[in-house]
Amino acid sequence: MAQLIMIVDDEPGVRALLNDTLRIAGFETIEATDGMSALTLLRTHKPDLLVIDINMPLMDGFELVERLRSTNDLTPVLMLTAREDKADITRGLKIGADDYVVKPYSIKELLARIRANLRINKNLSTPEAMSFESIRIDIARHTVSYNGINISLGPIEYKL
């Protein structure tokens, strides 16, 4: 199954170029024209990576990343923007972007950075279950068992 990348940019030409490039490279894509549209799409889609421009109407890329990270959404973010000021780059990375690419960019480098971020995220992903001696925690189902017997835990107990 192809990995899904969300392109968030207000420029139709940029979205079209990225969409075509990523599809040729074997990815699936969805597009949003600004941060608000991206948040709406994220309610129904779970992309593997977001490519976000900074300068957009309604909600810029910085605010979008801040909102995502404030809800513990750890989807990898690559900021793709014409803003090359060191303060912008530092701010983007400080608020939670995983990578920052300045326009104009090389298609080969962009694809390499996307693949690297996807690979890193895959290696850091949470396992479905963990075990230690007789205790098993099923992270996907939020259950705990001891010697094969399920232990009834409330949400707070499970988090602890």
Gap between the Cα atoms of 36 and 8, Å rounded:
10
Q: Band of the pLDDT at 159, cuts 50, 70, 90?
A: low
Of 119 and 61, the structure prediction assigns the larger pLDDT to 61
Residue 53 has pLDDT above 80, yes or no: yes
The residues with which 143 forms a beta bridge, in sequence order, are: 138
Gap between the Cα atoms of 21 and 122, Å rounded:
22
Q: What is the pLDDT, as a whole number, of residue 16?
A: 96
Mention every residue, 6+ apart, whose C-beta is less than 8 A from residue 29: 4, 5, 6, 7, 18, 19, 22, 23
Average pLDDT of the chain, as a whole number? 89
HEC per residue, 19-64: HHHHHHCCCEEEEECCHHHHHHHHCCCCCCEEEECCCCCCCCHHHH
Q: What is the pLDDT, as a whole number, of residue 42?
A: 96
Q: Band of the pLDDT at 160, cuts 50, 70, 90?
A: low
Q: Which of 29-33, 54-58, 102-106, 140-144 has the highest mean pLDDT?
A: 29-33
